[in-house]
């Protein structure tokens, strides 16, 4: 990949943007006039609120506001990257340039990102400088180095997320009107995140700042995923040949059935399948082992989630005392009465949580599926470490023994339920990753249909039976083991 080619595209696009007065005028207003107006309103706010402790809390929120408004301008410029070129009849000349698809995509992405980011940084710099010169005491009480850094990173990551999303929309739509309609799916969640950030920034507690850093990390991960998705799905030939696309549900259904009936690795086109009938024997003997081999990476990610959950839950149990969970810890050794109804309720709940988290992972790049084993194993790590912190031993049995807790509460049904949860999480992670990088020979849509077909097949013939069996053990056998080990305490 050539940096000079990306720089050429970026210089061309940014030059066109910065020479258009219809774009420069709002950028100037948002970068200079808006922050100066907010600073000039500080004196009025101080007199109106009449509370010297409240106004400083609003200063970082005002900085977030003056940075987000110019950054949101990136959504407009990014939506024009490809679909705007189509409507101006300049798309063919752009796509005919002798550069790779990746270079062209990154050049358009950076050119859509740079002007709004420069405008946002300028606005935040003008705001901080004017506040420091005009109200130095308010600046000192309202801002510090960590707050300034976290606000700048929040604005940067949100701008990248918005631009990456908008460029994907622009490269897959055929009109500016359609792109603007789809942009609401980007702007509304981003506005919701800004509201959450505002509450945390105004709160100004250590936990609030920790959550803000977590948001920065999550937005950074989302930005990388969206950029990877856009590069993987970008194809200049498809853009040139794309006209008004009609949803063909019959074709979608036929493709999904092809992937369901017969297992082939991802990337094998549907017309290359043998179109054999599905048989359970072939699935268990040949297809399931092959599928598990191909799912090595998602299974590894699910294991990392489980290990992170154990370590995180253990750390919280050793470090913090949570009064809200004392009642639960004190109830260890008092199981519910075994019953078939309890067993079926547990099985249904496990199936519901695992299935829905995997399905919704399609929209969040597998995050929900990743969280299921992380949370499940975090609960085990938390209880075990809390019992050990209360004096329990890993080498002896007893009411406060973490070893006895694992033997009684986890192992009887966990030997079946926990591996099933890991496999379910791996399937969900693969579903979420289907958007990011379709293998060679697959479109994004085919990659999604392929992952959903494998998801459905494994769930029907493997996971549902395992979850039902684990639920029966947990509802009928585990309470008996708990009573035997804890003596009915």
Whether 25 has a pLDDT exceeding 70, the answer reads: yes
> Across the chain, what does the average pLDDT equal?
85
Q: For position 193, what pLDDT does the model report?
A: 87
pLDDT in tens, 167-179: 888 777 777 777 7
pLDDT in tens, 158-216: 999 888 888 888 777 777 777 777 777 787 788 888 888 888 888 878 888 888 998 99
pLDDT in tens, 113-151: 888 899 999 999 999 999 999 888 888 888 889 999 999
Cα(453)–Cα(481) distance, integer angstroms: 39
Q: What percent of the chain has pLDDT over 90?
A: 33
CB 461 within 8 A of CB 283: yes
Whether 231 has a pLDDT exceeding 70, the answer reads: yes
Q: For position 489, what pLDDT does the model report?
A: 46
Q: For position 421, what pLDDT does the model report?
A: 95
Whether 44 has a pLDDT exceeding 80, the answer reads: no
CB 111 within 8 A of CB 14: yes
CB 387 within 8 A of CB 329: yes
pTM for the full predicted model: 0.75
**Residue predicted with more confidence, 53 or 434:** 434
Listed ranges 16-20, 328-332, 337-341; the one with the highest mean pLDDT:
337-341
Q: For position 300, what pLDDT does the model report?
A: 95
pLDDT bucket at 245, cuts 50 / 70 / 90: low
Cα(434)–Cα(438) distance, integer angstroms: 6
Pull the structure tokens for residue 187: 């702007």
Listed ranges 324-333, 428-437, 469-478; the one with the highest mean pLDDT:
469-478
Q: What percent of the chain has pLDDT over 70?
A: 91
HSE-up of residue 41 (Cα within 13 Å, Cβ side): 12
Pull the structure tokens for residue 149: 């850094």
Buried b (16+ CB within 10 A) or exposed e, 50-73: eeeeebbebbbbbbbbbbbbbbbb
Report the candidate in 45, 246, 235, 259 with the shortest Cα–Cα distance to residue 131: 45
Q: For position 102, what pLDDT does the model report?
A: 79
pLDDT in tens, 347-406: 999 999 999 998 888 887 788 899 999 999 999 999 888 888 877 788 888 888 889 989
Cα(73)–Cα(34) distance, integer angstroms: 14
Q: Taking the CB of residue 247, how many other CB atoms lie within 10 A of it?
A: 6
Check residue 276 and report its DSSP letter.
Answer: P
In this structure, what are the phi and psi dihedrals at residue 103, rounded to the nearest 5 degrees? Answer: -65, -40
Only one residue has tokens 């000349």, namely 93
Report the candidate in 353, 461, 481, 472 with the shortest Cα–Cα distance to residue 406: 481
* Torsional sign, CA 51, 54, 56, 58: negative
CB 50 within 8 A of CB 63: no
Whether 34 has a pLDDT exceeding 50, the answer reads: yes
Whether 322 has a pLDDT exceeding 90, the answer reads: no
Q: For position 243, what pLDDT does the model report?
A: 56
Whether 295 has a pLDDT exceeding 50, the answer reads: yes
Q: Who's near 483: CB < 8 A, 6+ residues apart?
A: 335
Whether 455 has a pLDDT exceeding 90, the answer reads: yes
In this structure, what are the phi and psi dihedrals at residue 293, rounded to the nearest 5 degrees? Answer: -65, -40
Q: For position 244, what pLDDT does the model report?
A: 52
Q: For position 353, what pLDDT does the model report?
A: 93
pLDDT bucket at 241, cuts 50 / 70 / 90: low
Only one residue has tokens 């604005």, namely 155
Sort 319 into a burial class: Cβ within 10 Å, 0-12 / 13-18 / 19+: exposed
């Amino acid at each position: 990949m050539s940096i000079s080619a990306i720089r050429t595209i970026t210089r061309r696009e940014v030059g066109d943007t910065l020479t258009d007065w219809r774009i420069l005028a709002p950028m100037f207003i948002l970068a200079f006039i808006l922050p100066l107006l907010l600073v000039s309103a500080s004196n009025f706010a101080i007199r109106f609120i009449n509370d010297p402790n409240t106004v400083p809390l609003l200063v970082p929120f005002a900085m977030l506001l003056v940075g987000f408004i110019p950054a949101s301008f990136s959504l407009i410029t990014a939506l024009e990257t490809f679909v705007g070129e189509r409507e101006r009849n300049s798309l063919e000349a752009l796509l005919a340039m002798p550069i790779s698809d990746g270079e062209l995509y990154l050049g358009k992405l950076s050119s859509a990102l740079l002007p709004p980011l420069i405008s946002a940084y300028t606005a935040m710099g003008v705001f901080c400088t004017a506040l420091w010169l005009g109200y130095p005491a308010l600046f000192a009480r309202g801002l510090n180095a960590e707050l300034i850094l976290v606000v700048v990173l929040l604005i940067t990551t949100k701008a990248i997320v918005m631009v990456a999303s908008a460029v994907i929309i622009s490269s897959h739509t055929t009109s500016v009107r359609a792109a603007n309609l789809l942009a609401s799916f980007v702007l509304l969640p981003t506005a919701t995140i800004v509201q959450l950030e505002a509450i945390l920034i105004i709160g100004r507690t250590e936990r609030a700042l920790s959550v803000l850093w977590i948001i920065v990390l999550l937005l950074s991960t989302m930005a990388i995923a969206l950029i990877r998705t856009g590069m993987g799905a970008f194809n200049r030939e498809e853009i040139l040949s794309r006209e008004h696309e009609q949803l063909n549900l019959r074709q979608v259904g036929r493709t999904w059935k092809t992937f369901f009936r017969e297992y082939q690795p991802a990337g094998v086109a549907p017309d290359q399948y043998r179109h054999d009938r599905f048989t359970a024997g072939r699935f268990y003997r040949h297809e399931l082992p092959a599928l598990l081999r191909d799912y090595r990476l998602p299974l590894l990610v699910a294991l990392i989630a489980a290990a992170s959950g154990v370590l995180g839950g253990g750390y919280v149990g050793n470090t913090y005392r949570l009064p809200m969970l004392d009642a639960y810890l004190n109830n260890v050794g008092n199981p519910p009465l075994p019953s078939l109804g309890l067993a079926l309720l547990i099985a249904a709940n496990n199936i519901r949580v695992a299935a829905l988290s995997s399905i919704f992972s399609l929209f969040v790049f597998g995050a929900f599926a990743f969280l299921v084993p992380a949370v499940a194993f975090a609960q085990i790590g938390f209880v075990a470490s809390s019992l050990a912190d209360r004096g329990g031993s890993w080498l002896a049995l007893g009411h406060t023994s973490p070893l006895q807790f694992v033997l009684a509460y986890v192992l009887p049904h966990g030997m079946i339920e926990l591996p099933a949860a890991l496999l379910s999480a791996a399937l969900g992670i693969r579903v979420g990753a289907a958007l990011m990088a379709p293998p060679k020979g697959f479109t994004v849509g085919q990659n999604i249909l392929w992952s959903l077909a494998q998801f459905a097949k494994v769930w029907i013939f493997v996971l549902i039976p395992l979850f039902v069996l684990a639920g029966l053990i947990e509802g009928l056998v585990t309470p008996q083991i708990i009573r035997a080990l804890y003596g009915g305490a």
